[in-house]
């Protein structure tokens, strides 16, 4: 990293000291005011895009490790990935997202440097979208069936939010992400042991799978006879049929004082009150669905999309755009359980962030889309 740890720690302390006014979050969110707050307040880095593997983040184009995954897993999958039995009834359910036209992005970006603007007219063909983030249980089915080894397992480490770590694990770590010191590279952290060797998936099988890279997500979706959604599809689906709203359910963060997403309440990164019921991930089925029947589009786990990252967008009207032809980072959408307005006001449909395709972290997962409903779901 360019910045010395001392500098970033100072920045961190300064930002941390200014968090006092976040108590007003509730008061401001109950107004029906869609006007975004100033960029200087919410454009602060959450470290969301700092979690790139060394040697890849500064390189030119990064390597896609599983280019043949689509062919391989589709061909070898003679059986449906999972029988739609009662036990696995939730597995891979999808909803039809009707074709339509929407305004992608916004002319009133809360975080302009993320490329949230400009607003542009986008036509979307009908497609299917996973109702839920892909869960640990589903990912386990995939790994059992294919022997897939995730990139975090190959690299033998992954980024974990410090607040989740045991003292024992924390004490062994000396290095941190300069721009976001609450991210710790943890040895042997991966989807099966999200906080390192002394953790497991017990009681979390219905939570979103984490520590999956973009390449892992592509491999999973191919195996399930699906694909990753494009950013445009994801954003269109996030809006749930509503126009020009901040969140999948409207403009109020807490309609009738109810939580509609798993984000962070309290002071980031020091104290998460868990007012929404969860200080970490929630089951993928938690919280009310949006107008299309999709759960946890914002909050809980960030979700990979198919697109390469760019912050420059044409205002031209487009049909089923697929993003830049090449790039270094992939787009992720929706924010996570770690997002607080002060640091990461990215639990909005137009919000976006990015990581290299081999990156993984304890707040990053995915869901799949499809042009046609896979046969095993019909």
Ligand X SMILES: *[C@@H]1O[C@H](CO)[C@@H](O)[C@H](O)[C@H]1NC(C)=O
Q: Shortest approach of Ca ion to residue 69 CB, angstroms? A: 23
Q: Shortest approach of ligand X to residue 73 CB, angstroms? A: 16
Question: Of 141 and 341, which has the nearer Cβ to ligand X?
Answer: 141
Q: Catalog residues that contact ligand X under the rule CB under 6 A.
A: 137, 140-141, 144
Short-list 192, 194, 145, 152, CA closest to 362? 194
Interaction residues for Ca ion, span 253-312 (CB under 5 A):
262, 276, 278, 296, 300-301
Give dist(CA 127, CA 338) in Å, integer.
30
Question: Of 58 and 85, which has the nearer Cβ to ligand X?
Answer: 85
Q: Shortest approach of Ca ion to residue 333 CB, angstroms? A: 8
Find which of ligand X, Ca ion, none residue 262 binds, CB within 5 to 8 Å per kind: Ca ion
Find which of ligand X, Ca ion, none residue 355 binds, CB within 5 to 8 Å per kind: none
Q: Shortest approach of ligand X to residue 206 CB, angstroms? A: 12
- Looking at residue 167, the DSSP 8-state letter turns out to be H
Give dist(CA 216, CA 365) in Å, integer.
10
Q: Shortest approach of ligand X to residue 80 CB, angstroms? A: 13
Question: Of 141 and 211, which has the nearer Cβ to ligand X?
Answer: 141
Backbone angles phi, psi at 328, to 5 degrees: -110, -35
Number of residues that bind Ca ion (CB under 5 A): 8
Give dist(CA 300, CA 248) in Å, integer.
14
Give dist(CA 220, CA 215) in Å, integer.
9
Short-list 122, 124, 126, 102, CA closest to 317? 122
Give dist(CA 260, CA 108) in Å, integer.
23
Binding mask 100-119 for Ca ion (x = CB under 5 A): --------------------
Q: Are 158 and 169 within 8 A, CB to CB?
A: no
Binding residues for Ca ion, per CB under 5 A?
262, 276, 278, 296, 300-301, 334, 337
């Amino acid at each position: 990293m360019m910045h010395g740890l001392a500098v970033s720690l100072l920045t961190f302390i300064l930002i941390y000291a200014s968090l006092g006014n976040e108590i007003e979050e509730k008061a401001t969110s109950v107004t029906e005011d869609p006007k975004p707050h100033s960029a200087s307040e919410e454009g602060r880095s959450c470290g969301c895009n700092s979690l790139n593997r060394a040697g890849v983040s500064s390189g030119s184009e990064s390597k896609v490790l599983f280019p043949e995954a689509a062919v391989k897993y589709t061909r070898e999958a003679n059986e449906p990935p999972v029988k739609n039995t009662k036990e696995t009834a939730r597995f891979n359910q999808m909803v039809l997202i009707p074709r339509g036209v929407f305004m992608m992005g916004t002319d009133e970006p809360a975080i302009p440097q993320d490329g949230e603007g400009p607003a542009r007219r986008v036509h979307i063909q009908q497609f299917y979208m996973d109702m839920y983030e892909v869960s640990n249980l589903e990912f386990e089915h995939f790994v059992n069936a294919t022997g897939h080894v995730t990139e975090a397992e190959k690299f033998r480490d992954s980024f974990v939010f410090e607040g989740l770590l045991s003292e024992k694990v924390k004490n062994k770590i000396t290095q941190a992400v300069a721009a976001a010191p609450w991210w710790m590279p943890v040895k042997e952290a991966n989807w099966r042991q999200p906080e390192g060797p002394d953790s497991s998936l017990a009681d979390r099988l219905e939570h979103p799978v984490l520590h999956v890279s973009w390449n892992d997500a592509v491999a999973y979706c191919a195996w399930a006879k699906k694909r990753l959604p494009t950013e445009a599809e994801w954003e269109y689906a996030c809006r749930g049929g509503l126009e020009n709203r901040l969140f999948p359910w409207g403009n109020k963060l807490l309609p009738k004082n109810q939580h509609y997403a798993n984000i962070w309440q309290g002071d980031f990164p020091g104290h998460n009150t868990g007012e929404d019921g969860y200080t970490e991930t929630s089951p993928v089925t938690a919280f009310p669905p949006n107008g299309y029947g999709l759960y946890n589009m914002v909050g809980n786990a960030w979700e990979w999309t198919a697109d390469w990252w760019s912050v420059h967008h044409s205002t031209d009207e487009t049909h089923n755009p697929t993003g830049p032809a090449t790039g270094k980072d992939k787009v992720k959408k929706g924010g996570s359980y770690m997002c607080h307005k002060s640091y990461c006001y990215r639990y909005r449909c137009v919000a976006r962030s990015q990581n290299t395709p081999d990156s993984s972290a304890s707040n990053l997962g995915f869901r799949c889309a499809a042009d046609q409903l896979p046969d095993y779901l019909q």
